[in-house]
């Protein structure tokens, strides 16, 4: 049972931005009327979402709200049942994760898809290795990886270190750097701050701020920690029971408002169960 959203909330495609209102040409990514079912379970209901060029969008919601399903659709892992996706104003049918990546949509999952036994620079070039003839060009990959990480302010002593020896924040930063330098224009981050201490989380938040300042990459951040994402997000969407029920600029909302919405949802669910039990 959904709880009515506060004033200013609603489906993202229908809402104007109070800074002047989005038009189609401002958006690098648009999702229109997307839904997804798994047998009798409806995971997503009429999702409308837009992402401006250079924008950081926080996609929030409780477990089971539909965030992961939407992420999998956006990165080409699975197709929607209905609706369409537009990239730079052109409708696209994402056939696979590799196809989405070739179009400029890349994803960094919680498990990062890094190989612990490989070095930092080998992970940076995983599945996109530099070669000279039949051989890996380790010298070139090492040099480029060092330069890219330095450019992003990621301070690692050596790119020859095995990834297994790095902290969670450093591993996340490497996965993000790899996606950025695959020519991504839309970057999807799945819980990038999960299970991180304050120091590691600060590294990733600074990295996302740096991406935002470049204005050439748009980011969707899936997160549970409202306080952290409000620091770096331009706009916030809240998913509840497969629907986007809230869309506001980050500066126009607060942790308290978001918590109040979720608490109201819990209370409504408890009341519904009590009525059923009675």
Q: Where are the domains of the chain?
A: 26-227+236-277
The string of DSSP codes covering 82-147 is EEEEEETTEEE---SHHHHHHHTEEEE-TTTT--TTSBHHHHHTTTS--EETTEE-HHHHHHHHHH
57 close to 235: Cβ distance less than 8 angstroms: yes
Residue 232: burial class (beta carbons within 10 Å; 0-12, 13-18, 19+): buried
pLDDT of residue 195: 66
Return the structure tokens found at 94: 């994402």
pLDDT of residue 211: 85
Name the stretches of the chain with pLDDT < 70: 1-25, 111-112, 195, 278
Query: Which residue's entry shows tokens 């049942």?
Result: 81
Pairwise CA distance, residues 114 & 124, whole Å:
9
181 close to 148: Cβ distance less than 8 angstroms: yes
pLDDT of residue 106: 92
pLDDT of residue 33: 97
Pairwise CA distance, residues 68 & 73, whole Å:
9
pLDDT tens profile 143-187: 999 998 888 888 788 999 999 998 888 888 888 888 888 788 999
| This prediction's pTM | 0.81
Q: Which residues make Cβ contacts (< 8 Å) with residue 193, sequence separation at least 6?
A: 201, 204, 205, 223, 225, 228, 229
pLDDT of residue 25: 59
pLDDT of residue 44: 96
CATH code for the part of the protein at 26-227+236-277: 3.40.50.300
């Amino acid at each position: 049972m959904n709880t009515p959203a506060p004033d200013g909330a609603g489906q993202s495609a229908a809402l104007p931005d109070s800074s002047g209102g989005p038009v189609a040409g401002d958006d690098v990514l648009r999702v229109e009327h997307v839904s997804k079912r798994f047998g009798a379970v409806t995971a997503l209901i009429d999702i409308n979402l837009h992402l401006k060029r250079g924008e950081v969008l926080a996609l929030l919601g409780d477990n089971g709200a539909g965030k992961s399903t939407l992420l999998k659709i956006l990165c080409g892992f699975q197709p929607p049942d209905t609706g369409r996706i537009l990239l730079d104003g052109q409708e696209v049918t994402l056939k696979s994760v590799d196809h989405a990546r070739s179009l400029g949509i890349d994803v960094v999952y919680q498990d990062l898809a890094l190989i612990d036994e490989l070095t930092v620079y080998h992970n940076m070039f995983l599945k996109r290795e530099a070669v000279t003839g039949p051989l890996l060009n380790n010298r070139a990959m090492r040099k480029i990886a060092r330069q890219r990480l330095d450019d992003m302010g990621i301070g690692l002593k050596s790119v020859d270190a095995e990834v297994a020896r790095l902290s969670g924040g450093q591993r996340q930063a490497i996965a993000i750097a790899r996606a950025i330098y695959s020519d991504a224009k839309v970057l999807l981050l799945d819980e990038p701050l999960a299970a991180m201490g304050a120091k590691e989380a600060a590294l990733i938040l600074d990295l996302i701020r740096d991406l935002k300042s470049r204005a050439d990459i748009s980011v969707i951040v899936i997160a549970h920690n409202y306080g952290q994402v409000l620091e770096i997000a331009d706009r916030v969407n809240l998913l509840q029971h497969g629907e986007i029920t809230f869309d506001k600029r980050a500066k126009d909302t607060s942790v308290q408002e978001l918590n109040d919405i979720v608490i109201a949802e819990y209370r409504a669910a408890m009341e519904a169960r009590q009525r059923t039990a009675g």
